[in-house]
Structure 1
Amino acid sequence: MASILTNTSAMAALSTLRSISSSMEDTQSRISSGLKVGSASDNAAYWSIATTMKSDNQALGTVQDALGLGAAKVDTAYSGMDSAIEVVKQIKTKLVAATEDGVDKTKIQEEITQLQAQLTSIAEAASFSGENWLQAKVTGGTAADTNKSVVASFVRDAAGVSVKKVDYTLSATNVLFDTGGNTGLLDQTSNIENDGVVVNVNINGTTQSYNVAKYTTAQVIATAGVTFDASGNIAATTASDGAGAGVGFVKVAEDTWVAATEQNPAASTGQEAFAKEAATTHVWQITTTALAASTNATSVSALSIGATTTKTQLTGMISLVDSALTKMTSAAAKLGSISSRIDMQSSFVSSLTDSLSSGIGKLVDADMNEESTRLKALQTQQQLAIQALSIANSESQGVLQLFR
């Protein structure tokens, strides 16, 4: 039946053309965006998963940046500690050299002083983004002063989202200088044993024995301004007089001297009568505080040697420096292990980011080879549909032939 009002063939051809055009729009959208799931309407489940994973991936990007910042802090501290170790090694070498006979200890101390200044400079310079892990307020400090951390990872689990950190606490075992006290590796004090000799001292008529530092004749002579009396027993750095003002040494045995202070005998009541000149015009004494001390405290950053420094004291200083080196090496090893962990975590985050990106791509990315092939097919189908519609529309034209 031929009808000019209802063309069933044209309607079918038009429906097919519309369907093809709709498919072409979807395919062209996928080709232009590169996504087969560009919105929730395309595939709600895949779109939801991909959106969440993209958010996590962005968070991992921030973690990667934070890891870089943390690595910079740790590497700065490690570099400073490593440099400080080399300087302390040089100080140890200088002290060992000072134990040799005939060396100029004053010159060696000048070198040590410069090395100590370098240690201070290293500690002050080892700062990154306002944080210094080698110089901090350990004594009397707050948690903000001592508790440090660097971001390590970003985790999404059943409990939710969390950021994991690597903690590092500043303490007397890893800080070079304590700005709040003297507990740092380089400023904490330690007792250095004096090379002592036991002497008898009369205090108010009572004789007591004390262990005091001793000096050789060469060390006494090396002291600037030293003079000897007529008997060669007393060396003073200032002229002896009745008022008592000399500071020098008293010989207690062969090649053995002890430091003493000249006092006025008229005011010597209650004083420690250590030695007297033959004419009894001068009294030499040592204060009770000095007598009681057989050790003196010093630190790596403050140790000092001079012409009168004994080998026993040098040995104690070398031991002090060696102990500091051991602790510094341990602290550097810990910083190195943290740096290594951060590097591994950074590599893992980078790999994880790639994996997430790949997973997201599998869910929402369009297969361009497939889509281009589909587009070519749809274009062919569209052309055929147009021709079919044209044929269907031409059928009504045949009715006109019946009226000729």
Structure 2
Amino acid sequence: MATVSLSSGVRSALSSLGSTKTEAQQAQFRLATGKKVNSAVDNPVNFFTASGLNDRAGQLTDLLDGISNGVQTIQAASKGLDSITSLVKSLQSTVKQAQNDAASNRPKVTSNVAGGLATTAEATLRNSSQREAALNKLVIDDNGVTANTATAGYQGNLGVATAGAGTNAVQIQAGNTTYSFSFDGTTTLRDLVNNINSSGIATASVGNDGQLTVTGSGSDALTIEAGTLNAGVFAAVAGDNTALFGTADNTAVVASGNSAVRTTLVKQFNDLRDQIDGLAKDAGFNGINLLGGDKLSITFNEKTGANKNKLDVQGETVTATNLGIGSAVDGTATGNDYNIQNDTDLAKAADALTNVLTSLRATSSSLGSQLSVVETRQNFTKDMVNTLTAGADNLTLADTNEEGAKLLALQTRQQLSQTALSLSNQADQAVLRLF
């Protein structure tokens, strides 16, 4: 095969055209990919540095999903606590409603002496009301154990026996509180009423019908009995309660109160209490419930071992029992339950609910603090991903304006090189004119 020799002008034009074509293809490729470094051949340092930055940005992006789930899990628990707090406040309202119905819950002892402690006939003889005639009667019968009726000139007595050993006395008991007071032959029913009223655990009054009524100041069952007091020791005396209250036996008179309104509130209280447990069980997210005692672990960086950064959020089992809220019962309470008929138990329930609110606020504050940490790390991670991606792009991305202008210039050069090649060929063709 014969070798064809090219003139120096043609060879130079061909070389320039090839170089221009290569540069134009490179510019087109950069514009197509948007990168000036597409492989290690283009720039090894920038290529591998950008790959490392992109890899870390990708790992942090993957962690963002877990961080986002962590935020939602804490928020779900926080919303659950808010709702439980509302239920506890409703329980407080129920207790307050029960306390407001205290008047109908007071135990009451009313005498049923025939005709009253002073009859209408006695009142007429004394020229006074039946109530005043009863209040002015002496309590003790100094000449026997039979009540003496009032006359125009004598105030009468109730027939309580004169004490043998010790002194005559009355004892009142409500719950764990006992109050005793003594009286003598000059004591009237009015004095006895005043003594009961000063006890602090009961009040006494005489009605227009001449009957004595003793009402407890609290909701505890009330016991009242008459007898003797000797060196601080009380002993009941047969017949004394009969004289004062008209009882059929000689034992203490016992009365307990009951409120129909409080009875209806038992179910309301317990229904609200049960909702606390149900609500806490429903406060989970993606299988993790911080109000059910679960533990949430949130990873913040891509490292392992000692360099791994994470936050562990330990939940607690929230139930009415764990919070210290007992059930309401309509009668004798056991354990942490509350007898809704008892003022002391209601006060105990009110105090317990106040403590529960304090505990819930502390738990909510702790979750809020942890949520703030997680959200801060979430925002930091997003910013870090953007920083890493921008850094990688700065190392590899092409300036499209620059590459576009360069391609336009190369295309112009390419056209000029083709023209130069054509001119070089025309110089060689001039030889043909000699023939």
Match of 1:325 in 2: 357
For 1:163 and 1:24, locate their aligned partners in 2 and report how far apart those are by CA, in whole Å: 48
What CA deviation, in whole Å up to 9, does each residue of 1:237-276 have, x standing for no partner? xxxxxxxxxxxxxxxxxxxxxx9xxxxxxxxxxxxxxxxx
For 1:14 and 1:123, locate their aligned partners in 2 and report how far apart those are by CA, in whole Å: 82
Match of 1:389 in 2: 421
Match of 1:69 in 2: 69
Structure 1: tracts of 5 or more residues without a match:
137-145, 193-221, 224-258, 260-294
Match of 1:125 in 2: 282
Is 1:380 aligned to residue 412 of structure 2? yes
SS in 1 for 2:301: strand
2:345 alignment partner, one of 270, 290, 313 = 313
What CA deviation, in whole Å up to 9, does each residue of 1:105-141 have, x standing for no partner? 21222211121121122012112112221123xxxxx
SS in 2 for 1:297: coil
- Matched-pair contact (CA < 8 Å) for 1:35–1:366: yes
Aligned residue identity for 1:154: N
Deviation above 4 Å: which 4+ runs of structure 1? Answer: 159-163
Q: 1:161 to 1:11 in 2, by over 3 A?
A: farther
1:177 alignment partner, one of 291, 294, 319 = 319
Match of 1:165 in 2: 310
Q: 1:42 to 1:186 in 2, by over 3 A?
A: farther
| TM-aligned CA deviation for residue 9 of structure 1 | 1.2
Higher mean C-alpha displacement, 390-399 vs 326-335: 390-399
| TM-aligned CA deviation for residue 399 of structure 1 | 2.1
Q: 1:155 to 1:162 in 2, by over 3 A?
A: farther
| TM-aligned CA deviation for residue 169 of structure 1 | 1.7
- Matched-pair contact (CA < 8 Å) for 1:75–1:339: yes
SS in 2 for 1:132: coil
For 2:25 and 2:415, locate their aligned partners in 1 and report how far apart those are by CA, in whole Å: 15
- Matched-pair contact (CA < 8 Å) for 1:78–1:335: yes
Q: 1:160 to 1:330 in 2, by over 3 A?
A: closer
What CA deviation, in whole Å up to 9, does each residue of 1:5-27 have, x standing for no partner? 34111111111111111100110
- Matched-pair contact (CA < 8 Å) for 1:155–1:162: no
| Structure with a larger share of its residues in strand | 1
Q: 1:186 to 1:38 in 2, by over 3 A?
A: farther
Match of 1:234 in 2: none
Match of 2:197 in 1: none
For 1:359 and 1:20, locate their aligned partners in 2 and report how far apart those are by CA, in whole Å: 32
SS in 1 for 2:309: strand
For 2:5 and 2:345, locate their aligned partners in 1 and report how far apart those are by CA, in whole Å: 121
Structure 2: tracts of 5 or more residues without a match:
105-258
Aligned pairs (5 A) from 1:27-176 = 27-100=27-100, 101=102, 102=104, 104-136=261-293, 146-151=294-299, 153-155=300-302, 163-170=308-315, 174-176=316-318
| TM-aligned CA deviation for residue 395 of structure 1 | 2.2
Is 1:351 aligned to residue 389 of structure 2? no
Match of 1:297 in 2: 335
Aligned pairs (5 A) from 1:163-312 = 163-170=308-315, 174-177=316-319, 184-186=322-324, 296-298=334-336, 303-307=337-341, 309=342, 311-312=343-344
Aligned residue identity for 1:14: L
- Matched-pair contact (CA < 8 Å) for 2:70–2:296: no
| TM-aligned CA deviation for residue 160 of structure 1 | 9.0
For 1:15 and 1:162, locate their aligned partners in 2 and report how far apart those are by CA, in whole Å: 57
For 1:94 and 1:149, locate their aligned partners in 2 and report how far apart those are by CA, in whole Å: 39
What CA deviation, in whole Å up to 9, does each residue of 1:351-397 have, x standing for no partner? 22222222122111111111111011000000011111121222221
Aligned residue identity for 1:363: L
For 2:375 and 2:89, locate their aligned partners in 1 and report how far apart those are by CA, in whole Å: 29
What CA deviation, in whole Å up to 9, does each residue of 1:198-254 have, x standing for no partner? xxxxxxxxxxxxxxxxxxxxxxxx97xxxxxxxxxxxxxxxxxxxxxxxxxxxxxxx
Match of 2:373 in 1: 341
- Matched-pair contact (CA < 8 Å) for 1:109–1:304: no
SS in 2 for 1:149: strand
- Matched-pair contact (CA < 8 Å) for 1:127–1:133: yes
Aligned residue identity for 1:297: G
| TM-aligned CA deviation for residue 161 of structure 1 | 10
For 2:15 and 2:385, locate their aligned partners in 1 and report how far apart those are by CA, in whole Å: 46
Aligned residue identity for 2:75: D
* Matched pairs, number: 275
What CA deviation, in whole Å up to 9, does each residue of 1:139-178 have, x standing for no partner? xxxxxxx543223x2256xx899652211123xxx43139
RMSD of equivalent CA atoms? 2.8
SS in 2 for 1:88: helix
Q: State the TM-score, normalizing by the size of structure 1.
A: 0.63
For 2:281 and 2:354, locate their aligned partners in 1 and report how far apart those are by CA, in whole Å: 23
For 1:354 and 1:377, locate their aligned partners in 2 and report how far apart those are by CA, in whole Å: 35
